[in-house]
Amino acid sequence: MQLKATHMMETLGIEVQELNKDRVVMTMPVDDRTRQPYGMLHGGASVALAESAASFGTALNIDLDRQMGVGLEINANHLRPKRDGVVTATAVPVHRGRTTMIWDIRITDEQGRLVCISRCTVAIVSRDRSVSQVGEGQ
């Protein structure tokens, strides 16, 4: 199985800059696609960027022919408004377990200032298990 940008990543303009098992770096423009009505970077866009980075990182650490990673939990603290330019997400694994991975994601502006801090837990499930069963304890 090959990693590729999803429709959401394409829609938001998210691009992969660095991709390996220990670190994922992605960028996203702050423009009309990613701003909220007050003209600032939408928190949901930041969360989409963070989860994309964590998901790609997880995919590199599992056997994609047998397993898949699905978002289980994500939190984000939005620290600084951003009106234009580009933000960069850097994701590093905090925990690599058999059934979950936890990623720390730091989103920064062009000057390296923190815009958002996020932590994402990704569940690792068998591909032969239906997606509808994820989270049902089956």
Residue 117's H or E segment, with its range, is strand 114-126
**Is there a contact between 34 and 77 (Cβ–Cβ < 8 Å)?**
no
Q: Which of 49, 48, 58, 74 is nearest to 124 (CA)?
A: 58
The verdict on whether 136 is a catalytic residue reads no
Distance CA 12, CA 138 (A): 34
Catalytic residue among 18, 51, 110, 136: 51
Give me the sheet containing 100-108, strands edge to edge. Answer: 15-20, 23-30, 85-96, 100-108, 114-126, 67-78
Buried b / exposed e along 16-31 (16+ C-beta atoms within 10 A): beeeeeeebbbebbbe
Residue type, 132: S
Residues involved in catalysis: 51
